[in-house]
Chains A and B, each alone.
Chain A
Amino acid sequence: MPDRASPQTPKTKATSARASSSTITLPHLVRLAILIAMDASAVWILNRFFSLGYYPLAAATLLILIFVNIILLHRETYPIRWMLVGLVLMAMFTIYPIIFTTWVSFTNYGEGHLITKEQAIEQILKEKYLPETGKAYTWTAFKSPEGDYVLWLQNVDGDGFLAAPGESLTQPQPGESGVGEFDSKGIPETIEGYKRLNAILAATDQNLTQIQFGEIANSIQIRSPKEASELLPLYNYDLGQDAMISQETGAIYRNIRGTFSSQDGTQLRPGFVASIQFANFREFFVSPALRGPLLRIITWNFAFALFSLLLNFALGLAIAILFNDQNFPLKKLIRSLLIVPYTVPALLTILIWRGMLNPELGVISRGLENLFGWSPSWFTDQWWAKVAVLLINLWLSYPYFMLICSGALQSISQDYYAAAQVDGANIWQQFWQITLPLLLVAVGPLLIASFVFNFNNFNLIYIFNAGGPPMAGTPTPAGHTDILISYVYNLAFTASRGVNYGFAAAITIVIFFIVGAITLFQFRYTNMWEEVSENV
Chain B
Amino acid sequence: MKKLSIILIVALSLVMLLSACGDTAEPTEEPMVEATMVPEVATEEPAAAEPTEVPATEVPVVPTEVPATEEPMATLTIWADDTRTPILLGLADDFLAEYNVELIVEDLGRVQDIRSQIIIAAPAGEGPDIYIGVHDWLGALVESGLVAPVDLGDKTDEFVQSNLDAFTFTDGNLYGLPYSSENLGFFYNTELVPEPPTTWDEVLEIGRTLQGEGLVEYAIAVATGPLYNALPIQTAFGGYIFGVDENGAWNADDVGLDSEGEIAAVTWMADAVAEGLMVETFDYETAHSLFETGQIPFLMAGPWALDRIRASEVPYAVADSFPDNGAPFLGVQGFMINPFSENVLLAQAFLTEFIATEELMQLLYETGLRPSSFKSVLAMTDDPDLKAMGTAGANAMPMPNIPEMGSVWSAADNGIALAVTGEQTPEEAMTDAAEQVRALIRGALVGMINLPGSYQDQAGCGAQWDPACPATGMEEGDDGLFTLTVQLAAGDYEFKVALDGDWTTNYGSDGAQDGPNYVLSLAADSTVTLTYDPATQLVEIVTE
Contacts and interface: CB of A to CB of B under 8 A. Distances in A.
Interface of A: 1, 3, 27, 30-31, 34-35, 38, 41-42, 45, 48-49, 52, 61, 68, 81, 84-85, 88-89, 111-116, 119-120, 123, 199-204, 206, 208-209, 222, 224-227, 254-257, 261, 263-265, 269-272, 277, 282-283, 287-290, 355, 358-361, 377, 379-381, 468-470, 472-477, 479, 490, 494-499
A158 to B, nearest CB: 14
Given A1-B1, A359-B281, A494-B406, A473 B343 contact: no
Interface in B504-530: 504, 506, 514, 517
Given A1-B3, A200-B346, A265-B504, A115 B144 contact: yes
9 contacts: A30-B4, A30-B7, A114-B119, A204-B73, A254-B464, A271-B143, A358-B281, A496-B407, A497-B406
A469 B339 CA distance: 41
B140 A256 contact: no
A380 B11 contact: no
Contacts of B368: none
B463 A255 contact: yes
Contacts of B496: 263
A38 B11 contact: yes
Contacts of A113: 144
Interface string B65-83: 0000000011000000000
Contacts of B154: 226
Contact of A288 (B418, B440, B447): B447
B444 interface: yes
A355 B285 contact: yes
A224 B348 CA distance: 8
B142 A269 contact: yes
B99 A380 contact: no
A462 B116 CA distance: 19
A509 B16 CA distance: 32
A289 B353 contact: no
Contacts of A34: 7-8, 11
A497 B403 contact: yes
A115 B123 contact: yes
A475 B435 contact: yes
Given A209-B345, A360-B279, A361-B289, A120 B145 contact: yes
Interface string B403-424: 1111101110111011001011
Nearest to B139: A497
B13 interface: yes
Nearest to A266: B503
B172 interface: no
Contact of B99 (A85, A200, A270): A200
A297 to B, nearest CB: 14
Contact of A498 (B350, B406, B517): B406
Contacts of A265: 467, 498, 502-504, 506
Closest CB pairs A-B (n = 10): A265-B503, A270-B145, A470-B414, A203-B349, A287-B444, A224-B151, A497-B403, A498-B140, A226-B153, A283-B444
Contacts of B467: 265
A498 B18 contact: no
A355 B444 CA distance: 37
Contact of B285 (A287, A361, A377, A381): A361
Nearest to B72: A204
A465 to B, nearest CB: 10
Contacts of B352: 225
B interface: dominant SS: helix
Given A265-B498, A497-B403, 5 more contacts: A254-B464, A360-B279, A468-B417, A473-B428, A475-B436
Given A226-B153, A358-B283, A204 B3 contact: no
A49 B410 contact: no
Contact of B123 (A112, A116, A224, A359): A116
A358 B286 contact: yes
Nearest to A362: B286
Contacts of A85: 10, 13-14, 17
A277 B462 CA distance: 10
Contacts of B28: 52
Contacts of B447: 288
A280 to B, nearest CB: 9
Given A35-B11, A111-B403, A499-B119, A473 B424 contact: yes
Interface in B191-210: none
A317 to B, nearest CB: 36
Contacts of A277: 462
Given A199-B353, A225-B153, A360-B290, A206 B144 contact: no
Contacts of B403: 111-112, 497-498
A380 to B, nearest CB: 5
A497 B281 contact: no
Contacts of A358: 281, 283, 285-286
A203 B444 contact: no
B145 A200 contact: no
B243 interface: no
B303 interface: no
B475 interface: no
Interface in B382-439: 403-407, 409-411, 413-415, 417-418, 421, 423-424, 428-429, 432, 435-436, 439
A335 B242 CA distance: 59
A68 B286 CA distance: 59
B468 interface: yes
